[in-house]
Amino acid sequence: MKIGILTFHWAVNYGAILQAYALQEYLKLEGHDVCIVNYKPKNYDDTILNFIRKYKFLKISEYLLERKKELRLSNFRKKYLNQTERVCSCKKISNLVTGFDVLISGSDQVLNPYFLATGEGNKNGSSAYYLGFNFDGTKIAYAVSFGCITYPEEQFSIAAKYLKSFSMISVRENTGKNIVSSMGIKNVSVAPDPTLLMPYSFFDNLADQYEGKVSRDYTYCFFIRNMKERKSLIKDRTRDLIWNNDLGDSSVESWLYLIKHANSVITDSFHCVVMCLKFHIPFVVITELNGNVGMNDRFYTLLTPIKMVNRILYKNSLNEIEIILSTKIDWNSVDMYLNALRNIGKKFLNF
């Protein structure tokens, strides 16, 4: 079958790109003709207008680092993702996917209400990831996330209308299942992130493509948010810490290398945790909010079945990091669990 994937493949984020690549490659292995529908609104482009409108000049150093990172990620997309021509408007997707048998929305937080309301700038919403455009084929949501635990009332009916046109829906988090069920939709399942569909060797090969080398022992600290605050709080003189892109390389390959060869990892990234599980690296997750609230549910959904929620640490309890990292992990049980998750995903995608 000819399958198109709609996801945040364009985000300046390692996990977003890897989950898109993993889903593409898994479906190809199943014999399908697969491509990434290259939809990206103009308001997410790196332009002077957006630079000013989003006040990026107030954090110029962060902007320059992100721009450098995007250059590397852009190369990865061109090399590995089979993308259609680009469209910037949800309305134009329909013509682009004529002749497709199946469209898959997901994974990642593609169904977040913020994008539905403002995805194409200002008050211009976008139903692209709800597949809210003319399409005669089969609509599937795979391991989608809402990025919230309660869907906003003002957009609830709109989201429900679009989701009811899907033939199959799976979500990434348990709270997502509750949201979809509350919309009157039955037969909703929880499925693993696409990165969990692919074996260890898939990511190991990418990590080995990094040409650099770190010869010392280190703990890798990777944070998507609040890194300045985390640096001020994580002051461990007994460990050699490498932060984010300290080596000067922002590529996907270097990121995977740093996780694979670390003694341990401290992070706030869901996909970084997934890679730690695959590479057998002890880790701690630092959360901004306390408990299973907000976006924390993705960690709880992933780690609860293997009794590893003790590795989810609220930011005000960082004194427990060493205790957690020194706790042994039964990696055989982890591998069995990851294999079980993969089978769940495979069963859902067996259409």
Whether 246 shows a pLDDT value over 90: the answer reads no
Longest dimension (CA), the chain: 60
**Is 230 part of a structural domain of the chain?**
yes
Residues 190 and 207 in one domain: no
Average pLDDT, the chain: 93
- Nearest partner of 274 among 45, 93, 19, judged by Cα: 19
57-109 confidence digits (pLDDT tens): 677 877 777 888 889 999 999 999 999 999 999 999 999 999 999 999 989 99
Residues 149 and 127 in one domain: yes
Residues 142 and 90 in one domain: yes
**Is 336 part of a structural domain of the chain?**
no
**Is 341 part of a structural domain of the chain?**
no
For residues 155-167, b (16+ Cβ closer than 10 Å) or e, as one string?
eeebbbebbeebe
pLDDT at residue 81, rounded to an integer = 98
**Is 129 part of a structural domain of the chain?**
yes
Is residue 335 within 8 Å of residue 181, measured between CB atoms?
no
Residues 145 and 213 in one domain: no
Higher pLDDT, 148 or 164: 164
**Is 20 part of a structural domain of the chain?**
yes
**Is 342 part of a structural domain of the chain?**
no
pLDDT cut 70: percent of the chain above it = 98
Question: For position 133, which CATH number holds?
Answer: 3.40.50
CB neighbourhood size of 220 (10 A): 26
Query: Residue with structure tokens 């859902």?
Result: 348
Residues 270 and 184 in one domain: no
Q: Count of H helices and E strands in the chain? A: 14, 11
pLDDT at residue 237, rounded to an integer = 57
Question: Of the candidates 151, 176, 196, which is a domain's last residue?
Answer: 196
Is residue 7 within 8 Å of residue 106, measured between CB atoms?
yes
**Is 343 part of a structural domain of the chain?**
no
**Is 260 part of a structural domain of the chain?**
yes
pLDDT at residue 159, rounded to an integer = 95
Domain count, the chain: 2
Question: For position 211, which CATH number holds?
Answer: 3.40.50.2000
Q: Residue 137 is part of which domain span?
A: 2-196
Is residue 138 within 8 Å of residue 101, measured between CB atoms?
yes
Whether 236 shows a pLDDT value over 70: the answer reads no
- pTM to 2 decimal places: 0.95
pLDDT band at 32 (very low <50, low <70, confident <90, very high): very high
Average pLDDT over residues 116-124: 88
Residues 139 and 256 in one domain: no
pLDDT band at 248 (very low <50, low <70, confident <90, very high): confident
Residues 22 and 151 in one domain: yes
Residues 319 and 235 in one domain: yes
Is residue 112 within 8 Å of residue 146, measured between CB atoms?
yes
Residues 182 and 237 in one domain: no
